[in-house]
A and B are shown apart, each in its own frame.
Chain A
Amino acid sequence: MSVVIHRVDKSFKEFRALKQVDLRLDSGELFGVIGPDGAGKSTLFRIIASLLAPDSGRCEVNGFNVVRDYREVRRLIGYMPGRFSLYMDLSVEENLNFYARVFGTSVRANYELIREVYRHIEPFKKRLAKRLSGGMKQKLALSCALIHRPQVLVLDEPTTGVDAVSRGEFWELLESIRQEGITILVSTPYMDEAERCDRVALMQKGRVLDVADPSEIGKGDMLPIYALRSNREVYPFLKRIRKLEGCRSAWLFGDELHVTLKAPQHASAFRKEIAGWEDDSLKWVPISPSIEDRFMWLMTEAGEAGTAPGSMNENNSLSEDYKYT
């Protein structure tokens, strides 16, 4: 076990940020935590990084308790906060050297480890950090988090605010870092990124809803799922669908509506009803659920999402829409 989180609770005044969180990470795995903003991902990561103490429960990194043995933990982990936290008025090279020296090592000693990441930004090593693009900033932050050869890498939403190409590159880099035997814990609001992890945990409102292999996550106990597609806007139909008898839950998914039913026999009634909705392009098809559908379904099961209006944005991100529910 590389990271053990056992029944961790954390509250900020009245707000319960984490509720009885349990997670176990194997050594060398790439573990993703997915959930909308406010799900408690950052709080959880800050506890693992020894920046916050849990109210109750236990958190260990390679057997070291994050509260009692925080000094050891800080040497073992490489942490990359959600907000860019390097020195804007120092150059790429100076930032890297600074963090290397603070950990009592040098860039040269660990160059092999960071080479894959660093070679992208090395041509700009004299440039001040504030003049880097979003993607380059992330790579610099990753280099700095890696420079002391940590055993566990904790990355809090590393790809938020980064363009699609850089995001793809970034995940390839994570893959290569994992080859070095480093355990990686990464959070993201993007569903498509979850598929690149070995395992993912779905988080919502301070709880871990599910932990599973991303390829498995759509299967199991999930009900059949249908999509309502049209050449026109489908959003106006959302309310009507939800009012239908036999509708268990419905949500917007990109430019379609996804629906689960209380029982499979309702399907024919739905088909009939929709045929009378004066839109010839409307199609009602059974589909195999994606990880995002799984997530939405789990949230409905927890009694939280089915009533939530709104849609996923273009990036299939949950972050904006469920912030205010």
Chain B
Amino acid sequence: MRIIYTLLVKEFKQIFRNRFMLPVIFVIPLVQMIILTYAASLEMKDIKMAVVDQDHSTASRLLVSSFTGSPFFRITLQTGDDREATRWLHRDKVDVILHVKDDFEKGLFREGSADLQLVINAINATEAGLIQAYCTRIITGFNSQLRTGLSGPESSAGMPSLEIIPAFWYNPEFDYKIYMFCGILVILVTLIGMLLTALNLVREKEMGTTEQINVTPIRKTHFIIAKLLPFWIIALFELGFGLILGRLLYDLPIVGSPLLLFLFAAIYLLAVLGIGLFLSTMSHTQQQLMFMSFFFMVTFILMSGVFTPTESMPDWAQEMNRVNPLAYFMRVIRMILLKGSGFRDISREFFSMLVYASTILTLAVVSYRKTT
């Protein structure tokens, strides 16, 4: 205990004496929380639209006006020439073309149906999907409006019609920022835990101080505990700091128990620190380490479900996610914060993480050598 205490005092002194550390702990979270949460939002405003109206009828004008009325769309080009619209799309001046053919109104009233064409720039698939969804919603609205208008209000009771009123559970205002915020907080805590631990370990290796440490009665386990514990504490502190920021900046709902979240994070961080330790055993310089952890972090982050739901990934990817600690925490933090899940709901993730942490830590400690 005396040795561990002495080592811990030394570690903390070194960590806070490092001029690079304080900005990492306080500035990076602020920047990430503020910038990334807004930047990574999937809400779209100001979709630039070209309208090719070849019909010039009441119905077509009504349709176009329902797009103009939407806050999401801005009509930048109105023309009768579809080739001009295509040119605009090529030049990236519009994102979507709405094409109304000259038989639109005729078709609607005579045959009861008409075709519309939407041409969407799909270079960014996510964006294209969103534009399509927004357009569909507006056109559906126009459709039902048309039907009530056609048959008159009194007869509408006789016409069976389906109306969908969506209710967004756990995020009633459909606020994308809250969802993103949780994801970014997870990335941040993981980055602090994994990277800083590994960097610190490799730095000690680079400085050659282990040569002197090795002739003291300090044991390997003492040494490792004293190396990991400070970053475990700092990462947990970071989680708390992040939650407070989220509360202040985004009115982050904390529906579930914060205590449960910290309990899970404590176990989760053991696994993350274990990975950091493991990475440090495989590299001799900080540079090597940066490249390796970059590879692991990017893979872990993109597969964790921060942007895209893991459930929609192919089966093999979902299988791979079993060894991705971020995927577990990503799910759990949203369940606890947004949905208010209790221990029973996250017990599967909790015990998986427990097994994960003990496996990776054992592996890392065994492969760790104080000598180079």
Contact = CB atoms under 8 A, between A and B. Distances in A.
Contact of B217 (A71, A83, A89): A71
Nearest to B214: A51
Nearest to B371: A51
B288 interface: no
**Nearest 3 Cβ contacts at the A-B interface:** A85-B212, A101-B6, A81-B211
B184 to A, nearest CB: 31
Contacts of A83: 208, 211
A87 B10 contact: yes
- Does more than half of chain A's interface fall in helix, strand or loop, or is it mixed? loop
B207 interface: yes
A104 interface: yes
B216 interface: yes
A94 B212 contact: no
A71 B17 CA distance: 32
Interface stretch (A6-14, A20-28, A72-80): A72-80
B215 A49 contact: yes
Given A85-B209, A87-B14, A90-B10, A74 B2 contact: no
20 contacts: A51-B215, A71-B217, A74-B217, A79-B212, A83-B208, A85-B207, A85-B210, A87-B14, A87-B209, A94-B10, A94-B13, A99-B216, A101-B2, A101-B6, A102-B3, A102-B216, A102-B217, A102-B218, A103-B216, A104-B2
- Does more than half of chain B's interface fall in helix, strand or loop, or is it mixed? helix
A89 B14 contact: yes
Given A51-B371, A79-B212, A94-B13, A88 B207 contact: yes
B217 A75 contact: yes
Interface residues of A, number: 24
B14 A85 contact: no
B207 to A, nearest CB: 7
A103 B217 contact: yes
A128 to B, nearest CB: 8
B11 to A, nearest CB: 10
A42 B214 CA distance: 15
Interface in B1-20: 2-3, 6-7, 10, 13-14, 17-18
Contact of A98 (B6, B17, B208): B6
Which of under 10, 10 to 19, 20 to 34, or 35 or more describes the interface residues of B? 20 to 34
Contacts of B207: 85, 87-88
Nearest to A128: B17
Nearest to A86: B212
Contacts of B10: 87, 90, 94, 98
Nearest to A94: B13
Contacts of A74: 215-217
A85 B211 contact: yes
Contact of A50 (B3, B208, B215): B215
Interface string B192-219: 0000000000000001111110111110
Interface string B206-237: 01111110111110000000000000000000
Given A74-B216, A83-B208, A102-B7, 17 more contacts: A50-B215, A51-B371, A74-B217, A79-B212, A79-B215, A81-B211, A85-B209, A85-B211, A86-B209, A86-B212, A87-B10, A89-B14, A89-B17, A89-B18, A90-B10, A99-B212, A102-B216
Nearest to B219: A71
Interface of B: 2-3, 6-7, 10, 13-14, 17-18, 207-212, 214-218, 371
A89 to B, nearest CB: 5
Contacts of B217: 71, 74-75, 102-104
A99 B371 CA distance: 19
Contact of A90 (B7, B13, B214, B215): B13
Contacts of B6: 98, 101-102
Contacts of B14: 87, 89-90
A79 B213 CA distance: 10
A92 to B, nearest CB: 14
Contacts of A98: 6, 10
Contacts of B212: 79, 81, 85-86, 99, 144
A256 to B, nearest CB: 39
Contacts of B218: 102
A83 B217 CA distance: 20
A57 to B, nearest CB: 20
Of residues B17, B209, B210, B215, which shows the largest number of chain A Cβ atoms within 10 Å of its Cβ?
Answer: B215
Contacts of B214: 51
A96 B229 CA distance: 23
A144 B212 CA distance: 10
B285 to A, nearest CB: 16
A278 B40 CA distance: 86
Contacts of B13: 90, 94
Nearest to B216: A102
Contacts of B216: 74, 99, 102-103
